[in-house]
Structure 1
Amino acid sequence: MNPKAIHNRITEMTGVDYPIFQAPMGWIARAQLASAVSNSGAMGIIETSSGEFDAIKGEVAKMHDLTDKPFGMNVALAFVKGTNVIDFVIEQGIKFVTTSSGSPNLCTRQFQEAGIKVFHVVPTLDMALKALDAGVDGLVVEGGEGGGFKNPQPVATMVLLPLIRERTEVPIIAAGGICDGATMAAAFAMGAEGVQLGTAMLSCTDSPVHPNWKNAIYQGKETDTVFLNQQGRPALRAMRTERTGELELLGQFQPFEHMANILDLYFGGDLEAAIPLTGQVMGRIHEARSAADIVTSTMTGFYQSLSRLDASYGQ
């Protein structure tokens, strides 16, 4: 029996049963993974940060073949400068977009005029308030625990989420450090109405990345990530490897010089070929599970957490 669906502002906006969103990882967040997430009742997301628009258009077509459930796209603005990405996304006929790595002023109105809901990713309160000024429909509040490109001054989700919640009224998706029902319940207690899972989905059986990376996550500890380029932009959180251990000693470097062979890492399994962007929750992920199992167990654990709290502290 499937867990009970959630009814809140985010599920009403998106049409999903469960307000669990798969992170939009470049080259990884494509139809194989996103369709599995959407078919589980959550929200699969197709990336555009790779810039491979012809391939991405094909992935969107695959999504329509693989699922009749809602799915969305992400626009990482800094990665697709000088392209027609806004028109491209509108042409795909989707109704939900997350934007990141740039000003939402560049695209929010155009997306909304096309009937698309826009949530912008923010790592600080100031950026959240600027996104609201741009008119976004909601926010993805991303703590520094998460993997990927980061603000050089990271703020933990437990600090950032309630801070932004008390200053805003729009729906919030919490990201960073979330991988199960207990962390989802904690995020909801702090004001979120949805959660985004990155490393958990990266390492699931439906993810296309090489088993070497997945196995390194299963075997890793909570201390096995590094925070890189903190004196530059963008900063990054990544798995500790020989390469990233050396980069950790540098206060500033050019990250994209170390991403040239990223596909050798993602799909060839060479963890030293590039920077393996991974969140601290790798220390809590110990086995291979499907996207559907992750969504179902997260929702089950969410309700169990609420029941346990009510039994212990309810009035």
Structure 2
Amino acid sequence: MSISNRVTDLLGVEHPIVQAPMGWIARAQLASAVSNAGGMGIIETGSGELDVIRGEIARMRELTDKPFGVNIALAYVRDPGIVRFVVDQGVRFVTTSAGDPSRYCAELKAAGLTVFHVVPTLKGALKALEAGVDGLIVEGAEGGGFKNQRDVASMVLLPLVCSRVNVPVIAAGGIVDGASMAAAFALGAEGVQMGTRMLSSVESPVHDNWKNAIVRAEETDTVFLNRGGKGPALRALRTARTQALEFDNPEDMRAHFANVRELYFGGDMEAAIPLAGQVCGRIDAIRPVREIIEDTIRGFHETVGGLASRYGCAR
């Protein structure tokens, strides 16, 4: 049931499945479960808590002997020594996001790291290639979290980017199972990234109220916020707070994340903005990470094999 391609070769993983670098969430408890299941666990740095992150990376090495990576969210870097910090942790794979990929790419590459940059547009993809990245994470607007204000869905963005680049591409946004992974591969991807599906897993550290809200959600239960305001847009679960913001452009969206810990770990769904992608409408249970990954790989092969058999492509 294994998959071998440029993504698995570059990352050194069994399965080309990457866990999204969610702030405060993508830490050792979740990331080690992903790595131990054969995927690529990612530790976040967007929270800015580098002393804590250092401990999380040390804990990763206690919990897994498998490859894992670190994300640098460029717009939220507070420490100018972030590259040195990452290199000193002995990490070999980095994803960069939310900013200019040329900011740290050369320095990371000079240190021997593999670098993938997250892009929401073709223009961003071409700029990342100029910066020298090894690969791209192409993120459609149906995914949760921070987004480009001019949103493009994966069905359009992914094949467009793949038609113009030669580096390996990981698809993000709308990925939840084997069928969606197979669809991403049909459009040119060689790997997938999962955010909302991992956010709602057993090993995710967030409060069960958030996980259960995802399980209960319908496909229409996300909102796209800050389309015309300052800073990035974002996709989140529909709550009283986010519904009130749906057609508003606050002067400072960051104010709505002031009490993020009360949401993430206290379970107060109105304390901040609960980020989530449209795939919440397809998630019907809180499941262990290993089960999610194994079922995704199995479903991928079943989907590809089923299409070949049904349409006579197996010759």
Which TM class, normalised by the smaller chain length? over 0.9
Match of 1:107 in 2: 104
Paired with 2:79 and 2:61, the residues of 1 have a C-alpha distance of: 28
1:159 paired residue number: 156
Aligned to 1:75: 72
Helix, strand or coil at the partner of 1:173: strand
TM-score (normalizing by structure 2): 0.98
Equivalent residue, structure 2, for 1:55: 52
The one-letter code sitting in structure 1 at the alignment partner of 2:147 is K
Separation in 2, partners of 1:156, 1:104: 22
Match among 280, 283, 289 for residue 281 of structure 2: 283
CA contact 1:230–1:252 (8 Å) conserved in 2: no
Percent of aligned pairs sharing the same letter: 61
Which amino acid counterpart does residue 141 of structure 2 have in structure 1? Answer: G
Q: Which amino acid aligns with 1:302?
A: F
1:5-20 → structure 2 map (5 Å cutoff):
5-20=2-17
**Aligned pair partner of 2:267 in 266, 269, 273:** 269
- The one-letter code matched in structure 2 to 1:18 is H
Structure 1: 4+ residue segments shifted above 2 A: none
Give, as a single letter, the amino acid of the residue that structure 2 aligns with 1:279.
G
Aligned equivalent of 2:290: 292
Give per-residue Cα distances to partners, 1:176-222, cap 9 Å, x unaligned.
00000000000000000000000000000000000000000000000
- Give the alignment partner of residue 174 of structure 1, picking from 171, 179, 185: 171
Letter in 2 for 1:140: I
Cα distance in 2 between the residues matched to 1:265 and 1:85: 27
Match of residue 203 from structure 1: 200
Return 5+ residue gaps in structure 2 as ranges.
none
Structure 1 residue 252, shift from structure 2 partner: 4.5
Cα deviation per residue 1:27-67 (whole Å; 9 max; x = unaligned)? 00000000000000000000000000000000000000000
Alignment deviations for residues 150-177 of structure 1 (CA, whole Å, 9 cap, x no partner) = 0001100010000000110000000000
Secondary structure at 1:294's aligned position in 2? helix
State how far apart, in whole Å, the 2-side matches of 1:264 and 1:69 are: 32
Q: Are 1:39 and 2:32 an aligned pair?
A: no
CA apart distance, 1:82? 4.5
Are the counterparts in 2 of residues 138 and 170 from structure 1 also a CA contact under 8 Å?
Answer: yes
* 1:248/1:284 CA distance change after superposition, 3 Å: same
1:81 CA displacement: 3.9
CA shift for structure 1 position 83 = 3.0
Q: 1:113, CA displacement in angstroms?
A: 1.2
Deviations 1:237-274 (A, max 9, x none): 00000000001121454210100000100000001000
- Residue 114 of structure 1 deviates from its aligned partner by 1.2
Structure 2: distance between partners of 1:186 and 1:81: 38
Question: Is the CA contact (8 Å cut-off) linking 1:231 and 1:252 kept in structure 2?
Answer: no
The normalised TM-score by structure 1 is: 0.98
Shift of 1:104: 1.1
Separation in structure 2 between the aligned mates of residue 175 and residue 68 of structure 1, nearest angstrom: 26
One-letter identity of the residue aligned with 1:297: D
SS at match of 1:274: coil
Q: Please tell me whether the aligned partners of residues 48 and 78 of structure 2 are also in contact (alpha carbons under 8 angstroms).
A: no
What pairs up with 1:237-248 in 2 under 5 angstroms? 237-248=235-246
Partner of 1:259: 257
Aligned match of 1:310: 308
- State the alpha-carbon separation in 1 of the partners of residues 299 and 283 from structure 2: 15
Does the 8 A contact of 1:143 with 1:156 survive in 2?
yes
Instruction: Show the counterpart of 2:18.
Output: 21
Cα displacement (A) at 1:236: 0.6
Q: Distance in 1 between matches of 2:292 and 2:203?
A: 11
5+ unaligned residues in a row in structure 1: which ranges?
Answer: none
Residues 153/273 of structure 1: CA separation in 2 closer, same or farther (3 Å cut) = same
Which of 113, 137, 140 does residue 140 from structure 1 map onto?
137
